[in-house]
Amino acid sequence: MTAPPEIFNMAGELVAWVITRLDSLDLYTGREGFDIVTEDLGDVLAELEKRLAGIGLGIAVITPKITKGERPREIFLSVVIAITEIPTLNRADSGTRIPAMSIALSVCGLFDNQSPDPWFKFILQGAEPVAVPDRAGFKGAIEWDVTFQTGTRLLVEAIEPVV
């Protein structure tokens, strides 16, 4: 029996770096019921609904697109930081009192031209309000999506068969 090849979870490590930087904003951390949602949690929308119901704010980090670069083994990855808020809850005493747009602006400055190794520097693609999902938990919500592009060159090594 051969051992499976060891795989480095580059996308997972990138998302973990994004979350660590988001936590450094200290705008919303330490609030009971708040943590950043990722694709690892499964149903991102259901997880966001839980946060919105609690403090009126939810932030998700998703990586919706990988594209091939122009050079061999070069890839580009979109990273979207979705900031969703229900203003009536988020701006009340139990919320953060920080509007989604203000967090979006902070995110723009926090990530533009930054990156962890082996990724290229994040390039801001845009920050814009988007339509929220048509789900009960998003009623009265607004969302800002901040999109960055990063990339890397993959190092490909041959895997030797074990006899």
* 4, pLDDT greater than 80: no
Q: How far apart are CA 123 and CA 91, in angstroms?
A: 30
Number of neighbours of residue 158 by Cβ within 10 angstroms:
5
Fold of 10-153: STM4215-like (3.30.2000)
Strand partners, 57: 85
Question: What percent of the chain is predicted at pLDDT more than 70?
Answer: 85
Q: What is the dihedral of CA 89, 91, 92, 97, to 10 degrees?
A: 130
Token output for 72:
């061999």
For the chain, what are the domain ranges?
A: 10-153
pTM of the predicted structure, to 2 decimals: 0.85
Whole-number pLDDT of residue 130? 97
User: What are the tens digits of pLDDT across the range 59-114?
Assistant: 999 988 888 888 888 899 999 999 999 999 999 988 888 899 999 999 999 999 99
The pLDDT of 23-41, averaged and rounded, is 70
